[in-house]
Amino acid sequence: MDIPKARAPRRKPYLLAALGLVVLVAITVGLSRLRPAAPTVDRASVWLDTVKRGPLVRQVKGSGTLVPESIRWLTADTAGRVERIHVRPGATVIAGTLLMELSNPDVQLQALEAERQLASAEGEFLELREVLQTQRLSQQAAVAALTAEVADTARRAQANTALFEKSFVGDLETKQVNEKAEESRQRLELERQRLDVMSQSLRQRLASQQEQVERLKAVARFRRQQVESMKVLAGENGVLQELPLELGQWVTPGVLLAKVVKPEKLKAELRIAETQARDILPGLKALVDTRNGVVEGTVARVAPAASQGTVQVEIALPDVLPKGARPDLTVEGTVEIERLDNVLSVGRPAGAQPDSTLALFRLLPEGDEAVRIPVKLGRGSVNAVEVVQGLAEGDQVVLSDMTAWDAVERVRLR
């Protein structure tokens, strides 16, 4: 008879399960402590630069055009129709060159009317002067006659008084003679006063009429100038740059008729970003690239206000310029602000502003990884910027735009 044996308990599966669980937990904990893999960036697609110590030339750059220093704008003084055009843009002109002729019958009629009114006023002035002078002469004759009468009556009175004292004439006759002499003297005084008033009135009336004549002369002169202005002259020696009109076109006062320039003397007008123009002052050295050569100039003027985010800077140029330099030619200019000695500097990162803090990727020594670090920047130039804090000499940093990797702290370059 077989006796059944008791089966030994099977513990091995439980031990394996517990060991597997421990291994799984260890792996999970280890993976949780691992850093996420850094994204890979193509090294050829980024711009790297090395921090260096040495001199730094601060410069700002801008584009602009060549502009003549002497520009004469010819505008219409009166309305008119273009009848003839004698010269076209590009021609060399002198001060008396006739550029075009305008016509306006109303202006010519106004000039003739002004001349008529002036002639009439001058005739009235001459007539008034003749009448007043005649009246004054008549009054002077009356004064002269009374003067003689007064002298005669005075002599009669004196003689009569002497006879009265000798009792040759009576008292009544003596009084009559003396009263007549006094009457003549008073009449003479009144006529003299009348002559003074007449002379003063004559001067005032003639002066008033003369002022009217002068006013009409000014009006007639102005009307003649309007008629003459319809023959448009160059005004000075130079080159006719613009003449934006055609035959038969009607122009109004103030409309541009032509522009005459002197092309031998040019200046550069640069537009520089307002954030970079704050340190530009007159007298600073500048280099202007005319596409046919680089010319050294000097900052002559800085606009007091910005326009559309830029500041206009005028650069005075030498008299002799490279061939091909002409008005309205597009140029690029660089203004040298100052020279710094023994400073840390690096190429200008994308989006960097002077005196700001920027996060840059710095390459780790002997590796292909770059980590993000804050860098404090100082004074800037066109292609370089001063490093104040965060980098050391010899460090390599990424200057390209890395906004696509703002969410990570490190990248791998391959």
**pLDDT grade for 1, boundaries at 50, 70 and 90:** very low
Q: Which of 213-217, 296-300, 365-369 has the lowest mean pLDDT?
A: 365-369
Average pLDDT over residues 243-251: 92
86, 99 Cβ separation under 8 angstroms: yes
Give the start-to-end residue ranges of the domains of the chain: 37-69+266-413, 71-99+233-261, 106-230
**pLDDT grade for 297, boundaries at 50, 70 and 90:** very high
The larger pLDDT score, comparing residue 402 to residue 250, is at 250
Phi, psi of 260 (to 5 degrees): -110, 130
* Alpha-carbon torsion angle 303, 305, 309, 311, nearest 10: 10
The larger pLDDT score, comparing residue 65 to residue 189, is at 65
Is residue 10's pLDDT more than 50? yes
pLDDT value for 34: 46
Q: Is the whole model's pTM more than 0.85, yes or no?
A: no
Q: State the first-to-last Cα distance of the chain, in angstroms, to the nearest integer.
A: 81
> 49-71: per-residue pLDDT in tens?
999 999 988 888 999 999 998 88
Amino acid present at 266: L
Average pLDDT over residues 37-45: 79
pLDDT value for 14: 61
Domain 37-69+266-413: which CATH class? mainly beta
Is residue 278's pLDDT more than 90? no
**CA dist 360 → 350, 375, 382, 407 (Å):** 10, 7, 19, 13
Q: Report which listed range, 138-142, 168-172, 351-355, 371-375, is most confident.
A: 371-375
Question: 3-state class of 186 per DSSP?
Answer: helix
% the chain with pLDDT above 90: 35
Average pLDDT over residues 148-157: 74
Is residue 371's pLDDT more than 80? yes
Identify the DSSP state of 319: S
**pLDDT grade for 268, boundaries at 50, 70 and 90:** very high
Phi, psi of 179 (to 5 degrees): -65, -40
Is residue 175's pLDDT more than 80? no
pLDDT value for 286: 94
Q: Which of 61-70, 191-200, 286-295, 380-389 has the lowest mean pLDDT?
A: 191-200
Identify the DSSP state of 8: P
% the chain with pLDDT above 70: 87
Output the DSSP codes for 182-237: HHHHHHHHHHHHHHHHHHHHHHHHHHHHHHHHHHHHHHHHHHHHHHHHTEEE--SS
Average pLDDT over residues 17-42: 65
pLDDT value for 190: 81
**pLDDT grade for 368, boundaries at 50, 70 and 90:** confident
Query: What is the second-level CATH architecture of the domain 71-99+233-261?
Result: Beta Barrel (2.40)
